[in-house]
Amino acid sequence: MTSRIGIYPGTFDPITRGHADIIRRGSKLVDRLIIGVTTNPSKNPMFETDERFAMVEREVNAMGLTNVEVVGFNALLVKFAQKQGANVIIRGLRAVADFEYEYQMAGMNQQLDEEIETVFLMADVSLQPIASKLVKEIALYGGDISRFVSAEVEAEVLERVKLIGLKGDY
C-alpha cells in the first residue's frame, strides 16, 4: 500500500484559525501532511517567508500533530508536490469565490500531473469568513483580531503593525 502524502500549500500571511482547522482535519486524511509555505509577492506579504515559516511551524507544533511537517518552497506547486512524493493536494474553501479559483487550479494541476489528486475541505462554518488578507487589514486599522488567530500570531501581527503604523482615522 502506497503511503498517502498530502501537501497543504499557502502563503500563511499570517496563519489563521481557519488554516489551523484545515491542517488539523487534513492531517487525518493522509499518512503525512506537508505544509508548504510559499512565496507570493503579488499578495503583498506583511511577513517575510522565513518569518511565516517559523510562525506556521510554531502553530503546527502547538497542535501536537505527529504526521505534519512544514517545508518552505518557491516553485510550481505540482513540481513541489512531485519532489515531496505527494499524491494529494489539500485546499481549504471558504466561499464560492474560493471554489471557482481552486477548481481552475485543480484542473490545471491535473493537466500537469494526473497522479496528484486535489481534495477540497470546507472550512468550519465558524471560521469561513476568516482570510489572512482581512486579518491584516483589521489589524492595520486598529481592530481586534484575537478571534481569528492564536495569541502568539496576534502578538506578532500587532508588533508588525507598530512598525508599519496604524492606518485610518481611529
Those residues whose C-beta lies under 8 Å from the C-beta of residue 148, and which sit 6 or more positions away, are 16, 17, 18, 130, 135, 138
The answer to whether residues 14 and 43 touch, using CB atoms and an 8 Å cutoff, is no
The answer to whether residues 17 and 154 touch, using CB atoms and an 8 Å cutoff, is no
147 assigned to active site: no
From the candidates 24, 32, 58, 94, give the one annotated as an active-site residue. 94
From the candidates 43, 83, 133, 147, give the one annotated as an active-site residue. 43
In the chain, the amino acid numbered 33 is L
25 assigned to active site: no
- Residues in the chain, how many? 170
Q: Choose among 146, 152, 155, 157: nearest CA to 58.
A: 152
146 assigned to active site: no
From the candidates 52, 132, 136, 150, give the one annotated as an active-site residue. 132
From the candidates 19, 52, 91, 136, give the one annotated as an active-site residue. 19
43 assigned to active site: yes
Those residues whose C-beta lies under 8 Å from the C-beta of residue 47, and which sit 6 or more positions away, are 13, 14, 55, 156, 160
List residues with catalytic annotation: 19, 43, 94, 132
